[in-house]
Amino acid sequence: MLSLMTASIVAASPGHRESLLPLEQEFFPEAGADGGFVFDGPAVDPLLAQRKASAPVASVDSQVAGFAFAQPWAPRNFPRDLYTDFILSYVAVAREQQNQGIGSQLVRWVEADVRGRGSNLILAHVPAHLETFYSGLGWTVLPERTGLGWTQNGADVPIKADSPDDDPRWSRLAYIALRPEKVETFTFVVNTTKPVLDAARRLAELARNDSELRASLPAIVTAQIGVFGAPVRGAFGQIV
């Protein structure tokens, strides 16, 4: 039977870096190869001190038992002021403290924190075996090779989109819409290495036969799908 532990959770400060680094290295060793561990130096300090990242630390009996790390996210080349969604890069609980609800507490903390900052959606690249962990928290876990695109209701913001990694360890996209009335999500099959391109094509396809959807799209999205999503015509003018 699962026994639930109430861990105390606080926002990480630069002072937590030293105790978080071993957890990061244990659970996300590939991060080191990808350009360095987040907690292995002072570069992360301003993110923590100014609360740009959403980074809860869970403690049990004054010992660090787990942490999560999320930061503002948008597709490459997106205007910085439109980084209103978050990517949850890490959630980890020390092995001896797992299965007591602490991982769930950490994700809930991030959700409440970023919702409070006006964020509409959190995204994560997750392993297939954690589908039940995320779906139990009300997140949607997409099938393999499936990307997520979304537009923002009532705001002239370009399409945001992301695809899962090729790396089988992080082969699924998971997300939660914190304000479902503000975002219109759709999925697409990954075709290229450019998620926004795949998403624009898919949205163009959906909008082609749906006048209500077409009318609801922000002007900038209509322009985007006009460029990326024009139907491909064959030698006889047919849509291929």
Ligand X SMILES: CC(C)(COP(=O)(O)OP(=O)(O)OC[C@H]1O[C@@H](n2cnc3c(N)ncnc32)[C@H](O)[C@@H]1OP(=O)(O)O)[C@@H](O)C(=O)NCCC(=O)NCCS
Token digits of residue 74: 């948008």
CA 80 to chain centre: 17
Residue 153 carries which DSSP code? T
14-73 binders of ligand X (CB under 6 A): 27
**Count of residues of this chain found to bind ligand X when the rule CB under 6 A is applied:** 19
DSSP reduced 3-state for 27: helix
User: 102 vs 207, which CB is nearer to ligand X?
Assistant: 102
**What minimum distance in Å lies between the beta carbon of 132 and ligand X?**
5
Token digits of residue 165: 């990694």
- Please pick, from the candidates 53, 60, 92, 122, the single residue that binds ligand X as defined by CB under 6 A: 92
* x-or-dash string of contact with ligand X, 97-136, rule CB under 6 A: -xxxxxxx-------------------x-x--xx-xx--x
CA distances from 17 to 3, 7, 51, 98 (A): 29, 19, 14, 21
93 binds ligand X (CB under 6 A): yes
Q: Which stretch binds ligand X (CB under 6 A): 88-96, 186-194, 214-222, 228-236?
A: 88-96
CA-based nearest residue to 48, from 79, 83, 20:
20
Q: Which stretch binds ligand X (CB under 6 A): 33-41, 90-98, 182-190, 216-224?
A: 90-98
**What minimum distance in Å lies between the beta carbon of 94 and ligand X?**
8
Burial pattern 32-71, b for ≥16 Cβ within 10 A else e, equals: eeeeebbbbeeebeebbeeeebbbbbbbbeeebbbbbbbb
User: 78 vs 170, which CB is nearer to ligand X?
Assistant: 170
What residue ranges bind ligand X (CB under 6 A)?
A: 2, 27, 91-93, 98-104, 124, 126, 129-130, 132-133, 136
